[in-house]
């Protein structure tokens, strides 16, 4: 077994946004960093997403602050690298009165809590985006803080920037097989020694430290995504709908949400069953990025169900006028920690797992990394930034929680 280099300050497993974000933050403090990635280029969740930097989804307080700090870092990275980054904001479109009620309630309290949002009446929402179906939209919510990046470009740009400007060493096609006697061991037989190790393996996480990854409310999630053909113009604000209000914790403080959520559950149970809420962003090359669905844990099959894509497209077409047929489809997977923003676990002296940023990794990873390198023992991060509104989980989280409790009861018998 050989030693890849004498010694690093920091060695990181995984070149997704979490690993690269940690590498950027560590390198900015002057540390010598190496990143080990098993694939020849980033291929995980970090290049399969919408590219929505989405502070509006985070609850007020620490999580919103971290999201806004992350937003600043994306703008800094865009200024330094020239990567595609639209300060587009986002429009949520309401087609029913109960959705509009939630949006009005959120617009009323949002500015006090740190959100830059305002309510849109029918004419304003129609004027806000040329994709909105005039005859169906009744109102909307505009949020100013959202950024649209292109993840297929952004993650590669960050990796290149780390190598050229911060002298980070990134070893592609270098799977890490285990950790032994204070060193990471790669499939090529190299041993990597460092003062500090970070393990950010995304959804692949079970292999390196299996004991640390079981029994901690971690669950995989599979998502369906689609892409339209390219359009020539800038799409304007990114798009979401009332359905999205059910998905993000920020809206759970709205009293009117329960009634709306109840109606969707009764009227469109398959939207809850497949975790569908629809959103639209734009790729650097003009295509519209469309999605998505969420299937968790044991509901995940290796196969791509066309009916889910059709439900996503139908929900989109009921609210927006979009280019005709998708030209690309794919799946993404991430790890989610129920009731938390992330999972941090110290599995040895200076060996730390950072993972399970769920559906918010592009928004949160850079801000979390910056904060972690400012204070390694930050207690809020170590606890994984638990949800404020645990009493009222999303339908999917509630279903999973219920199943976990049932499994637990069975194990106890
Ligand atoms: C369809 C979809 C849409 C999303 N939309 C958004 C969005 O718009 N906004 C947002 O904020 N978030 C979004 N997310 C969430 C976000 O993409 C994820 O939270 C984030 O990308 C997770 O990053 P990661 O680094 O943990 O994982 P990954 O990107 O999967 O990276 C992990 C890396 O570790 C490597 N690895 C694993 N094991 C080893 C090993 N043993 N040795 C070496 N390398 C290893 C893998 O090859 C991989 O490259 C979305 C996610 C999906 C799937």
Q: 147-185 pLDDT, tens per residue?
A: 999 999 999 999 999 999 999 999 999 999 999 999 999
pLDDT in tens, 309-353: 999 999 999 999 998 889 999 999 999 999 999 999 999 989 999
Tell me which fold the domain 2-47+152-216+339-412 belongs to. FAD/NAD(P)-binding domain (3.50.50)
- What is the whole-number distance in angstroms between the Cα of residue 284 and the centre of ligand 1? 20
3-state secondary structure of 149: strand
pLDDT in tens, 5-54: 668 999 999 999 999 999 999 999 999 999 999 999 999 999 999 999 99
* Binding site membership of 50 for ligand 1 (Cβ less than 6 Å): yes
Higher pLDDT: 30 or 393? It is 30
3-state secondary structure of 388: coil
Residues 112 and 106: their CA atoms lie apart, in Å, by: 10
Instruction: Retrieve residue 384's tokens.
Output: 């994984």
- What is the whole-number distance in angstroms between the Cα of residue 359 and the centre of ligand 1? 9
Contact 257, 245 (CB under 8 A): yes
- Number of C-beta neighbours around residue 255 at 10 A: 9
pLDDT reported for residue 7: 86
- What is the whole-number distance in angstroms between the Cα of residue 175 and the centre of ligand 1? 16
pLDDT in tens, 194-203: 999 999 999 9
Contact 312, 241 (CB under 8 A): no
Instruction: Retrieve residue 279's tokens.
Output: 């959103």
3-state secondary structure of 1: coil
Instruction: Tell whether the torsion through CA atoms of 321, 324, 327 and 332 is positive or negative.
Output: positive
Least confident of 324-333, 388-397, 403-412: 403-412
Ligand 1 probe mutation, 42, 44, 292, 355, most atoms within 8 A of CB: 44
Ligand 1 probe mutation, 173, 204, 274, 282, most atoms within 8 A of CB: 204
* Binding site membership of 42 for ligand 1 (Cβ less than 6 Å): yes
pLDDT band of residue 216 (cuts 50, 70, 90) is: confident
- What is the whole-number distance in angstroms between the Cα of residue 46 and the centre of ligand 1? 4
Residue 396 pLDDT exceeds 80: no
User: How many CA within 13 A on the CB side of residue 75?
Assistant: 11
Q: What is the mean pLDDT of residues 52-62?
A: 97
pLDDT reported for residue 4: 56
pLDDT reported for residue 2: 52
87-147+223-337 carries CATH number 3.30.9.10: yes
pLDDT band of residue 3 (cuts 50, 70, 90) is: low
Contact 140, 125 (CB under 8 A): yes
Instruction: Retrieve residue 227's tokens.
Output: 């892409």
Strands (E), 215-254: 218-230, 238-241
Describe the strand order of the beta sheet including 147-149 as a list of residue ranges: 52-53, 147-149, 85-86
* Binding site membership of 146 for ligand 1 (Cβ less than 6 Å): no
Atom 14 of ligand 1 has which residue's CA nearest to it?
Answer: 359
Atom 35 of ligand 1 has which residue's CA nearest to it?
Answer: 14
* Binding site membership of 15 for ligand 1 (Cβ less than 6 Å): yes
pLDDT reported for residue 214: 84
The model's pTM is 0.94
pLDDT in tens, 237-265: 999 999 999 999 999 999 999 999 999 99
Residues 6 or more apart from 362 whose CB is under 8 A from it? 17, 46, 49, 51, 52, 53, 54, 149, 151
* Binding site membership of 36 for ligand 1 (Cβ less than 6 Å): yes
Q: Which atom of ligand 1 is nearest to the CA of 21?
A: 25
Cα end-to-end distance, the chain, whole Å: 47
Residues 288 and 284: their CA atoms lie apart, in Å, by: 9
Q: Degrees (nearest 5) of the Cα angle 234, 289, 44?
A: 130
Residue 292, preceding bond cis, omega within 30 degrees? yes
Contact 303, 199 (CB under 8 A): no
* Binding site membership of 23 for ligand 1 (Cβ less than 6 Å): no
* Binding site membership of 218 for ligand 1 (Cβ less than 6 Å): no
- Bridge partners of 302? none
Contact 240, 273 (CB under 8 A): no
Angle, helices 97-113 vs 257-267, to 10°: value is 140
- What is the whole-number distance in angstroms between the Cα of residue 111 and the centre of ligand 1? 31
* Binding site membership of 362 for ligand 1 (Cβ less than 6 Å): yes
* Binding site membership of 329 for ligand 1 (Cβ less than 6 Å): no
Smallest CA-to-CA distance from 400 within 369, 362, 358 is with 358
Domain ranges of the chain: 2-47+152-216+339-412, 87-147+223-337
Instruction: Tell whether the torsion through CA atoms of 29, 30, 31 and 34 is positive or negative.
Output: positive
Residue 68 pLDDT exceeds 90: yes
- Write the DSSP symbol of residue 178: E
Residues 397 and 112: their CA atoms lie apart, in Å, by: 28
Ligand 1 probe mutation, 154, 359, 368, 385, most atoms within 8 A of CB: 359
* Binding site membership of 37 for ligand 1 (Cβ less than 6 Å): yes
* Binding site membership of 395 for ligand 1 (Cβ less than 6 Å): no
């Amino acid at each position: 077994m050989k030693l890849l280099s004498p010694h690093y300050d920091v060695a990181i497993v995984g070149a997704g946004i979490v690993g690269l974000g940690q590498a950027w933050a560590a390198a900015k403090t002057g540390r010598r960093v190496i990143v080990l990635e098993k694939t020849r280029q980033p291929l995980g969740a970090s290049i399969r997403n919408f590219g929505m930097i989405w502070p509006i989804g985070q609850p007020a307080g620490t999580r919103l602050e971290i999201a806004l700090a992350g937003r600043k870092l994306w703008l800094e990275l865009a200024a330094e690298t020239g990567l595609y980054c639209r300060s587009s904001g986002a429009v949520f479109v309401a087609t029913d009165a109960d959705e509009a009620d939630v949006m009005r309630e959120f617009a009323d309290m949002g500015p006090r809590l740190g959100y830059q949002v305002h309510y849109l009446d029918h004419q304003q929402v129609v004027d806000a985006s040329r994709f909105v179906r005039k005859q169906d939209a009744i109102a909307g919510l505009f949020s100013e803080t959202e950024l649209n990046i292109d993840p297929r470009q952004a993650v590669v740009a960050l990796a290149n920037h780390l190598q050229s400007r911060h002298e980070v060493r990134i070893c592609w096609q270098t799977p890490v097989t285990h950790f032994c006697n204070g060193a990471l061991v790669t499939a090529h037989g190299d041993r990597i020694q460092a003062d500090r190790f970070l393990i950010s393996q995304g959804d692949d996480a079970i292999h390196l430290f299996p004991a640390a990854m079981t029994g901690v409310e971690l669950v995989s999630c599979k998502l369906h995504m689609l892409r339209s053909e390219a359009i020539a113009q800038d799409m304007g604000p990114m798009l979401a709908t009332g359905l999205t209000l059910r998905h993000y914790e920020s809206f759970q403080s709205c009293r009117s949400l329960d009634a709306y959520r109840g109606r969707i559950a009764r009227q469109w149970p398959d939207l809850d069953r497949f975790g569908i809420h629809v959103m639209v962003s734009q790729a650097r090359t003009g295509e519209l990025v469309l999605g998505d669905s969420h299937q968790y844990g044991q509901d995940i099959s290796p196969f791509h169900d066309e009916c889910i894509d059709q439900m996503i497209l139908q929900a989109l077409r009921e609210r927006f006028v979009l280019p005709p047929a998708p030209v690309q489809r794919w799946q993404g997977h991430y790890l989610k920690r129920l009731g938390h923003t992330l999972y941090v676990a110290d599995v040895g002296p200076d060996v730390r797992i950072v993972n399970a940023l769920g559906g918010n990794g592009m928004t949160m990873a850079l801000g979390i990394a910056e904060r972690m390198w400012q204070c390694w023992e930050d207690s809020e991060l170590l606890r994984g930034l638990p949800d404020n509104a645990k009493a009222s989980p999303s339908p999917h989280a509630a279903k999973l929680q219920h199943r976990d409790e049932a499994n637990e009861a069975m194990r106890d018998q």
